Amino acid sequence: MISLQPYNSFQVKSHCDSLTQITSVQQLEELCRLTNDDVHILGGGSNSLFVNNPGAVWLIDIKHVEVVKEREEYQLVRFGAGEEWHDVVKYAVANNLGGIENLALIPGKTGAGPIQNIGAYGVELKDVLQSVSVVERSTGNRLEYHASACAFGYRNSKFKQEWKGKYIIDSIVLKLTKADYHTVNTSYGAIRKQIGKQDAVTIQDVFDAVVSIRSSKLPDPKVIGNGGSFFKNPIVNLDVYHQLISAFPEAPSYQVDEEHKKIPAGWLIDQAGWKGKTIGNVGCYEKQALVIINTGDATGQEVLEFSAMVQESVADTFGILLEREINVV
Ligand code: EPU
């Protein structure tokens, strides 16, 4: 039995039967051809809550960075799935390439990014993703999908739906815009506030602002076990929205389309009285209620039970069902 505690950002005690570190795409192709047994694919473990023993685990640790195309306005850069996502963001910023500076400090590895289409501060991975290279689990064949084939949506993609378990991501290609041609995205209020009144806002300025906002509001998973947002922000129809607003006129919301609004789950959980509340070894983070934290020695089961209580309480108070963003294993 091998401990998975160092490999999951919730830091829950959990074990697997075997752990295979995969460092090259050739090794990944060979392993896929060799065995068709059930395996659990692990990247940075920042979106997985281990409740049961997953059996055999493959740790994707494929690392490389390569400029695959250079044009006047942009570069296409391929990053191995095992690169730390924040290192990828730092690489882009250091090379004066724009597009992912708003996605600074998102925990996890690069290969996990497309699965849930990571997003923050007005930018989603899909906005800069050119293509995704995958190895088919059942055959070991390598394929490259253009981003437009992956059905990206809010924290969603084909990798979470019909392609679930079918492919293992080995690298991604990002289209990063050179600074002179890049328009920074400061649409998010918190970023504008952080940067202040400044004429020329650089890629570095936005990166610094995001790092500063995230560090002040979100717990560092190396210090306090957590998996970022535990739930997705629910998207509700206008009937539900109007009911909510008539009872809670101050409720924040974002327009999704003409018939739908997105309600911040953090606000719902906060209003239901959970912010900063701890039961046993699990709690809702005091500065952002959407983040469930392991305050000590929690098991995955305890975290899951706590999250179910939060879910039930929000459903009772608002009639809105929160859907998990975290993947329960
Ligand atoms: N709010 C509260 N109480 C709280 C938390 C939030 O009232 O305890 C309110 C805030 O005042 C604000 C609203 O809820 O009006 C939204 O909060 P925030 O700006 O913190 O963003 P979020 O919607 O809670 C999302 C992403 C985060 C991402 C931020 C910034 C999801 C599920 N989460 O959070 O992503 O960093 O926006 O773009 O979409 C993650 O996925 O792990 C993650 C951290």
Instruction: Work out the average pLDDT over 21-45.
Output: 95
Q: What is the pLDDT of residue 197?
A: 83
Centre of ligand 1 from the C-alpha of residue 120, in Å:
9
Question: Which atom number of ligand 1 is nearest to the Cα of residue 231?
Answer: 32
Is the distance from the beta carbon of residue 232 to the nearest atom of ligand 1 less than 6 Å? yes
Helix (H, G, I), strand (E, B) or coil at 192: helix
Q: Give the Cα separation of 4 and 2 in Å (integer).
A: 6
123 within ligand 1 shell (Cβ under 6 A): no
CATH architecture of the domain with residue range 2-60: 2-Layer Sandwich (3.30)
Which CATH code, of 3.30.465.10, 3.10.20.30, 3.40.30.10, 1.10.600.10, is assigned to 65-217? 3.30.465.10
Mean pLDDT value across residues 245-259: 95
Asked about 324 being catalytic, the answer comes back as no
Q: What letter would DSSP give residue 224? A: S
CB atoms within 10 A of CB 185: 17
CA-atom Rg of the chain in angstroms: 20
Q: Band the pLDDT of 162: cuts 50, 70, 90.
A: very high
Catalytic site residue from 155, 171, 214, 307: 155
Closest C-alpha to ligand 1, atom 36: 120
What is the model's pLDDT at position 82?
A: 97
Query: Which residue has tokens 């019909």?
Result: 162
Asked whether the beta carbons of 102 and 122 are under 8 A apart, the reply is yes
Q: Is the CB of 154 under 6 A from ligand 1?
A: no
What pLDDT, in 10s, does the model give residues 196-228? 888 889 999 999 999 999 999 999 999 999 999
- Claim: this prediction has a pTM higher than 0.85: yes
**Residue 213 backbone zone (phi > 0: left; psi -120 to 50: alpha; other: beta):** alpha
Tokens encoding 274: 């959970």
Rounded distance from Cα 19 to ligand 1 centre (Å)? 34
Would you say the CB of residue 235 lies under 6 angstroms from ligand 1?
Answer: no
pLDDT (0 to 100) of residue 199 = 80
What separation in Å is there between the alpha carbon of 243 and the centre of ligand 1? Answer: 22
Domain 225-328 has CATH 3.90.78.10: yes
75 CA distance to ligand 1 centroid (A)? 31
- Written as one string, the DSSP assignment of 268-312 is HHHHTT-TT-EETTEEE-SS-TTEEEE-SS--HHHHHHHHHHHHH
2-60 and 225-328 share one fold: no
Instruction: Domain ranges for the chain, please list them.
Output: 2-60, 65-217, 225-328
Residue 3 pairs in a beta bridge with 15
Determine whether 305 is an active site residue.
no
